[in-house]
Structure 1
Amino acid sequence: MPSSTSPSDLFRHGLELLAHGDTEGWTALFAEDAVAEFPFAPDGYPRRLDGRAALAAYLRGLGEHLAYDAFPHVEIHETREPGTIVVEMRAEGRVLATGGPFAMAYVVVVTVADGLIVRYRDYWNPLAVPASLTAAVHG
């Protein structure tokens, strides 16, 4: 995507990539030195990933257990901070080990610079992780 793409457009494009299983494409939207943070991550999950390579490795592992199918609710809030958006969204997908449904609500703070995501803070709810996914990831 061109560097003139707005943070909202870049993020929506990223969700389309994830819904089509393209985690490499999603990862390519991040700067080489991007930071991804997961402040509410429980034990056993990373709270911070430094760099695109670390994010790619994390997503490869997650992709072995979970497939996103759709993001039926996405509400993007522009902020006064240049390049920063706040996103409220809902993801739906499948737990690959069981074929069972997966649904999660997220609040994400995304900062974009030079057309790439440089900071991604994902406030996902660990209490909403299906037991079947937890067993697959930690079993």
Structure 2
Amino acid sequence: MTIQMTREQIRERAEGVFKNHLKYLSSGEIAAWTDLFHQEGVLDFPYGIGNFPKKVEGKKALYDYMINFPKHFSVKFYDLKFYPTEDPELVIAEFKSTGKHLETGNPYEQTYISVVQTKDGFIQVYRDFWNPMVAIESIGGKLEDFVG
């Protein structure tokens, strides 16, 4: 017997996946974070600059890309707002982070807008709109170090 989910239940599931994404990143649970993605899941950075990747594809690549994040950054996410769409599996979220880079001690204060396509409770494509300059400044770098 197949149980059909309502649009609202599908939306709640998709938003729950997104909330878990924030929880796992802020707690450094990268394996659990990776498990939120489909096997061929994509993390897309439309505003990636220079040496920052524009796209990371597949669970193994996602894990390898994020595994060192908790060693470098301590962050907490807050002020989460969802913007419901016609597609209940599409999440549009706006939120902020506060934290620091662990080696430099520099602050990491970021504002994000994320567009996330889920399917059956897993992330298919995560489009991450954020300011790479905030990360560069937090690690003590200069833009010139990352471009050209």
**8 A Cα contact 2:107 2:138, kept in partner:** no
TM-score by length of 1: 0.86
Partner of residue 86 from structure 1, selected from 79, 85, 92: 92
Larger CA deviation: 118-127 vs 53-62: 53-62
Q: Which residue of 1 aligns with 2:43?
A: 36
Q: What's the CA shift for 1:132? A: 4.0
Once residues 61 and 9 of structure 1 are traced to their aligned partners in structure 2, the CA distance between those partners, rounded to angstroms, is 24
Q: Which runs of 4+ in 1 moved over 3 A?
A: 61-64
Bigger strand fraction: 1
- Aligned pair count reads 134
Point out where structure 2 has 5 or more consecutive residues left out of the alignment.
1-9
Point out where structure 1 has 5 or more consecutive residues left out of the alignment.
none
Distance 1:134 1:86, change over 3 A: farther
Partner of residue 65 from structure 1, selected from 72, 96, 100: 72
Q: Which residue of 2 aligns with 1:117?
A: 123
Once residues 132 and 89 of structure 1 are traced to their aligned partners in structure 2, the CA distance between those partners, rounded to angstroms, is 19
CA deviations over 1:64-116 (Å, ceiling 9, x no partner): 32222x11211111111240010101011220112232111110001111111
Aligned letter for 1:34? G
Question: Is 2:66 the counterpart of 1:97?
Answer: no
Aligned letter for 1:29? L
Once residues 58 and 134 of structure 1 are traced to their aligned partners in structure 2, the CA distance between those partners, rounded to angstroms, is 20
CA deviations over 1:25-46 (Å, ceiling 9, x no partner): 1111111101110000111110
Once residues 140 and 67 of structure 2 are traced to their aligned partners in structure 1, the CA distance between those partners, rounded to angstroms, is 16
Once residues 77 and 127 of structure 1 are traced to their aligned partners in structure 2, the CA distance between those partners, rounded to angstroms, is 26
Q: Which residue of 1 aligns with 2:4?
A: none
Once residues 20 and 69 of structure 2 are traced to their aligned partners in structure 1, the CA distance between those partners, rounded to angstroms, is 20
- State the superposition RMSD in angstroms: 2.1
Report the 3-state secondary structure (helix = DSSP H, G, I; strand = E; otherwise coil) of the residue aligned with 2:18: helix
Q: Which residue of 1 aligns with 2:5?
A: none
Select the structure of larger CA radius of gyration.
Answer: 2
TM-score by length of 2: 0.81
Report the 3-state secondary structure (helix = DSSP H, G, I; strand = E; otherwise coil) of the residue aligned with 2:115: strand
Partner of residue 26 from structure 1, selected from 19, 23, 33: 33
